[in-house]
Amino acid sequence: MAVDPAPVPTLESLLARRELHLRPIGGISPDVASRPVRWVHNSDLVDPTPFLADDLVLLTTGTQFAGEADDSVAYADYVRRVVSRGIIALGFGTEVVREGVPAGLVAACGELGMPLFEVPYRTPFIAVARANAEAVAAQAYARRSWALDAQRAIALAALRPDGLGATLAELAKQLHTWVGLFDASGQLTREHPAHGLDAASLAIATDEASALLRRGSRAGAALHDSLEAGRTPLTLQTLGRTGHLRGVIAIAVGELDPEGRGVVTAVVAMAGLALEQSRGLARAMAALRSALVESLLTDEPALARRIARDLVGGLPAAPIAVAVADVSRSDTLDEWLDLQSAEHRSGLAFGWHEHELVLVTSATDTRLVAALADRFSARVGVSSAVGYAGFSGAHSEARTALHRGGDGVSTFAQVQAAGMLAALDNDDARALAAGMLEPLVRSDAEDGTALVDTVRAWLENDTRIEAAASALGVHRHTVRARIALAQRLLGLDLSSFAARAELWTAVQVAG
């Protein structure tokens, strides 16, 4: 993707200068014609290569061939030397030593793929060199001007409300390419333009960004050489300090000139500074959000509404659902929550309370809760729908759903449907139940009394002797005798509802 607002001096642009009257001899391939020309030099040495540089156009009058006549070997050796030195093209000045371009030179250049052009007598070599030098200077000036304008535009973008996002968008605009920001966990959180990078290149960028973040030190990576043919080149740069990396900026460009690198460096510096400064702001915001939750827990929402109006633009409209998440706090989570809050203004409020994340959303739309559970593999409990006057009760419901529910999102309605006994499904309750039933279990083991089964059948049949006897397949007197024995062993008066309820609970919990 182009990042250059000014034309680069090339062999094609040099030959197109009408005032120079240069005449190509033979064809010139498009890839050679588009190569940048760094300088134009002239020499009549038989072997000028020790004094030449790459990406250079060489001019000669052919004096070095004066004694060679049309020796094709001499021409071939000369052209082979300049080709191996990386010369872009050869210009021959005619009517100085001889008329026209030597046929041997034309043949050698054609055979070895060296572009050749004629410089007529009326065009001084210095005019050709000066024309190219002026073009190089004009292009350098244009690049410097572009860099200054780009940095000014980026600096202004940084002053906007979403300074980081605006800065990245302006960089993408200035470079005419895709720019993405990966957070500290390696997730793509921002990109400009949206969906502007093909899926295969995005996957490569994601993998490389994750690798840079795992190393934990400031670093950059250029992927233009390692990608498959036809794949978008990429440049990546970490943000933040070594040991405290905050993310990675990825840019869909390969090689950048010094001006382009300067603009990118400025953006990396501003983005890193913005992310570092945001840490202090984030801590202050977190304290305010926690205060918001504390205020809501009083069931007096007036103060909370004033806090929320200035903090996040307001609270979600009632009826609401309160969610409590069991998730580890991290910069990545905080950033994700801030982004969701910004995108769903007045549709989400959150804060930390006693090491648990508390969220407030509309009761009719809890997709953000599901997204949180999915994104961070979190367990989340969600209350039933309430108004703000019932916030504390809803908070208790959400905590109950969290602690009694399973993985992912659990609602209070689901937990409530399991019944009261489900709340006793824990090791403490099972230990108490086993202790209570131990005399019956011991009697069954030692004397074969079947007291546990008899008590269970008796209670399941509403303490009716006849029904329990029928269920067990024994005589009613047997059931009556067993219940009496169980009562003595347990030390309970099973004629009372309280004793029966406690025994029933123990039987159910013990399984």
Cβ 9 vs Cβ 139: under 8 Å: yes
How far apart CA 364 and CA 150 sit, in angstroms, is: 46
Cβ 440 vs Cβ 490: under 8 Å: yes
Single pTM value for the model: 0.49
How far apart CA 116 and CA 174 sit, in angstroms, is: 37
| Multiple choice CATH, 158-279, 1.10.1660.10, 2.120.10.80, 3.30.450.30, 3.40.50.2300 | 3.30.450.30
Write out the DSSP string of 57-110.
EEEE-SGGGTTTTT-HHHHHHHHHHHHHTT--EEEEETTSSSSS--HHHHHHHH
What is the bridge-based pairing of β-strands 409-411 and 379-382?
parallel
Cβ 289 vs Cβ 296: under 8 Å: no
Could you tell me which CATH class the domain 11-135 is placed in?
alpha beta
Cβ 398 vs Cβ 382: under 8 Å: yes
For residue 98, the model assigns a pLDDT of 83
How far apart CA 85 and CA 112 sit, in angstroms, is: 13
How far apart CA 116 and CA 277 sit, in angstroms, is: 59
For residue 421, the model assigns a pLDDT of 59
For residue 227, the model assigns a pLDDT of 47
How far apart CA 494 and CA 488 sit, in angstroms, is: 10
Quote the tokens at residue 212: 């840079």
Cβ 89 vs Cβ 33: under 8 Å: no
Cβ 323 vs Cβ 358: under 8 Å: yes
Mean pLDDT by 10 residues, the chain (511 residues): 61 91 88 89 91 90 76 88 92 89 90 93 94 89 86 82 81 89 86 88 88 82 57 82 81 82 82 67 73 86 79 81 88 78 75 88 87 90 91 91 86 74 65 84 88 88 89 89 89 86 82 70
How far apart CA 174 and CA 251 sit, in angstroms, is: 12
* Residues near 502 by beta carbon (within 8 Å), at least 6 away in sequence: 436, 492
Give the residue extent of every domain in the chain: 11-135, 158-279, 297-417, 424-510
How far apart CA 93 and CA 96 sit, in angstroms, is: 7
| Domain 424-510 is found in CATH 2.160.20 | no
* CA triple 359-326-424, angle to 5 deg: 110
